Amino acid sequence: MTTVISTRALEKRFGRTVALDGLDLEVREGEIHGFLGPNGAGKSTTIRILLGLARPTGGEARLFGDDPWRNAAALHRRVAYVPGDVSLWPNLTGGEAIDLLARLRGGVADRRTYEDRKARLLEAFQLDPRKKGRAYSKGNRQKVALVAALATPAELYILDEPTSGLDPLMEQVFNREITRAAGEGATVLLSSHILSEVEVLCDRVTIIRAGRRVESGTLPELRHLTRSSVAFAHRAGQESELAALEGIHDLAVDDGRVSFTVDSDRIAHVLPELGRLGVQGLTVAPPSLEELFLRHYGDELSPVGEGATR
């Protein structure tokens, strides 16, 4: 399978600040790739390097096997981009901005198809194209950028936290449109810190922190690394038997409920034991990426990460 994006030991320094510290990233053709990390992990910096807007200070980045810094313009014919913090021209309307970007991308050769596609997207995202850029709210600016990106076909969509200003209904529309684009064979790099979005859309995920990759794989592969949470009503005298269970962690009794986590591949062994104990009010929460995320970052929550936003 062809690799669309690959970076190797990618490094970017701004003076003393290290934004990227040897990042490896691989995105294959046709997949929706989640690019996860907390604020300041280096997601936007990576994307700016991939777009040839910034030059790496070390390592290597490849887009369609080519150098994005040297061949930016040529590569951008195949790419559509949605920035995380959308700035619009204050005195251009949304419609004008969309047309401008589409024309720059050269995607309006078939005028009819473009207009139809744009009209459908404006309708789906419920966007009024006649307002001036300065009059749009954050969410509506985001919609302008999304419509501009999706209105012309692209081989690769690079989306930097694209849903940060959208309401839940619009997120549904967004999910549908991205799935449609991927269905047409496009590759998507979706940067986010919203895990539910990534879980719904993505085939594979790369998690980065402080400019480095910490985890990468398909969702089932990553879930494998996670634990399910188990909880039930506490009854006196269970402690010794509970303590004897294999593969459980974080055992605690709080507010009359027992809770622990269990490695996802051990759950089938633990459940019969619980049945034998006759526990009541049992809940088992499936492993989520959320938990994986917290495992990687939870201990880092109090001190601020070393990475810098661009």
Residues in contact with other proteins, shown as a per-residue x/- string from 147 to 166 under the rule CB under 8 A? -x---------x--------
Using the minimum distance from each CB to other proteins, give the nearer residue, 101 or 258: 101
Strand partners, 26: 6
- Answer for which of 3, 120, 135, 308 binds other proteins (CB under 8 A) is 135
Q: Does 134 bind other proteins (CB under 8 A)?
A: yes
For 280: left if phi > 0, alpha if psi spans -120 to 50, otherwise beta; the answer is beta
Q: What are the tokens at 233?
A: 């009503």
Binders in 69-108 for other proteins, by CB under 8 A: 72-77, 79, 81, 83, 85, 87-93, 95-101, 103-106
Of 8, 17, 55, 294, the one binding other proteins (CB under 8 A) is: 55
Cβ distance to other proteins smaller for residue 8 or 77: 77
130 or 224, CB closer to other proteins? 130
- How far apart are the C-alpha atoms of 35 and 160, rounded to whole Å? 9
Instruction: Give min distance, CB of 66 to other proteins, in A.
Output: 13
Phi, psi of 65 (to 5 degrees): 75, 10
**Contact call for residues 213 and 222 (beta carbons, < 8 A):** no
**Among residues 13, 132, 213, 296, which is the contact residue for other proteins, using CB under 8 A?**
132
- Best CA proximity match to 219, nearest among 200, 246, 239: 200
Instruction: Candidates 44-52, 198-206, 259-267, 288-296: pick the segment binding other proteins (CB under 8 A).
Output: 44-52
| Residue 227: alpha-carbon gap to chain centroid | 21
**In whole angstroms, how close is the CB of 101 to other proteins at the nearest point?**
6
Total site size for other proteins, rule CB under 8 A: 44
Please, what is the minimum distance in Å from the beta carbon of residue 144 to other proteins? 10
Footprint of other proteins on 258-277 (CB under 8 A) = none
Residue 105 or residue 227: which is nearer to other proteins going by CB? 105
27 binds other proteins (CB under 8 A): no
Any contact of residue 143 with other proteins (CB under 8 A)? no
Binding site for other proteins (CB under 8 A): 48, 51-55, 72-77, 79, 81, 83, 85, 87-93, 95-101, 103-106, 129-132, 134-135, 145, 148, 158, 310
